[in-house]
Structure 1
Amino acid sequence: MTTSLTRTHVTIHGMVQGVFFRDTCRRMAERLGVAGWVRNRPDGSVEAVFEGGAGPVEAIVDWCRNGPPLARVVRVDRSTERPEGLTAFEIRR
């Protein structure tokens, strides 16, 4: 059985920098088998791309709505993009 890939691009707003959001996101993505990347943005938000099966991608987007314990997420903007075939998850600077 072949699983089709999906790709979701999110921007997480709120108190999301300086609270281990990126590292916790990376660990969650690896646990779920989701590829992509996450990075801090100059405006204080966090941006991420998730690629994988629909279920795991939806699970990590749901996780982003709360983030790690010290985060205070106000809003998550999301869009669907064409998958690029990413195979790993990385923290970008």
Structure 2
Amino acid sequence: MVIVCRHGYVEGRVQGVGFRQSTAMEARRLQLSGWVRNLPDGRVEVLFEGEDEAVSSLAKWLERGPSAARVLALTLQEHPVQGEQGFVVKP
């Protein structure tokens, strides 16, 4: 089992559409740890880690997000594993 971590930003209509809560639900379903938060510039920032396949699945999900969202760009980078416990929505 390979554990990996990704950090990145989602751009588009991603605030005020349940993006953070939907991301947290999907991450928990995939048994990933990390966090998600809104940024003042309208983007959503996310960090998630876990098994490689599950991380890839969430990355694909983030490309579209929940039905009310309109994702225009997703930028993800490899990140050192943080040892996060659970997945939280940050204020």
Structures share fold, TM-score greater than 0.5? yes
Residue ranges of structure 1 left out of the alignment (5+ in a row):
none
Give the match for residue 39 of structure 1.
37
* Sequence identity percentage: 36
Aligned pairs, number: 91
Q: Give the superposed CA RMSD.
A: 0.6
Partner of residue 55, structure 1? 53
- State the match for 1:13 in structure 2: 11
Provide the C-alpha distance between the structure 2 equivalents of 1:28 and 1:78, rounded to a whole number of angstroms: 17
**Could you list the per-position Cα deviations for residues 24-80 of structure 1 after superposition, in whole angstroms to 9, with x for gaps in the alignment?**
000000000010000000000000001001000010010000000000000001110
Aligned partner of 2:78: which letter?
T
Q: CA deviation at 1:4?
A: 2.2
- The alpha-carbon deviation at position 14 of structure 1 amounts to 0.2
Give the Cα separation in 1 of the matches to 2:88 and 2:37: 9
Structure 2 regions of 5+ residues with no counterpart?
none
In the alignment, which of 71, 75, 82 is matched to residue 73 of structure 1? Answer: 71
Q: Residues of 2 paired with 1:92 and 1:43: CA distance? A: 16
- TM-score w.r.t. the length of structure 1 is 0.95
The equivalent residue for 1:89 is: 87
